Amino acid sequence: MAVEVGDGAPDFELRDQHGTPVKLSDFRGEKNVVLVFYPLAFSGVCTGELRRIRDEPPTSAGDDVQVLAVSVDSIFALRSWSDQEKFSFPLLSDFWPHGGTAQRYGVFDEGKGVAVRGTFIIDTEGVVRWKIVNAIPDARDIDEYRKALAGL
């Protein structure tokens, strides 16, 4: 079942590229969250998208936005990719149960075993305020994130 705008965002706890647990609910009352699901680390389109987020972070009024990027890669692959690309935001491993969080958000491609390009903007109350889902080969436009965050 897909998560829709206006729904409460399903909480999750995943480990980041350093092995540190990150819970979505830890940002409640503190920051808006840009939750970015992507297929695989080191792939061309994913690298381009996350580099753009790194170089031109999506923000709203102030410093109240946290980017969380999620893939089915292991924390070891994510650490290597993060170190190579100098990503400063958490890369979360949805490795086991395989794609479980992506499934809960309705963005898991069962046939390929990876997430599609789903993005959810979650406000400080934990409500999904905007979303877009692109097919695996179709890059997202970060300017759309900015417009959505400006409306919060």
3 neighbors 119 (Cβ within 8 angstroms)? no
For the question of residue 46 being annotated catalytic, the response is yes
Residue of 14, 41, 46, 91 with catalytic role:
46
Q: Of 1, 22, 6, which Cα lies nearest the Cα of 128?
A: 6
H helix and E strand count, the chain: 4, 9
Length of the chain: 152
SS (H, E, C) 106-136: CCEECCCCEECEEEEEECCCCEEEEEEEECC
Helix (H, G, I), strand (E, B) or coil at 131: strand
User: What residues act catalytically?
Assistant: 46
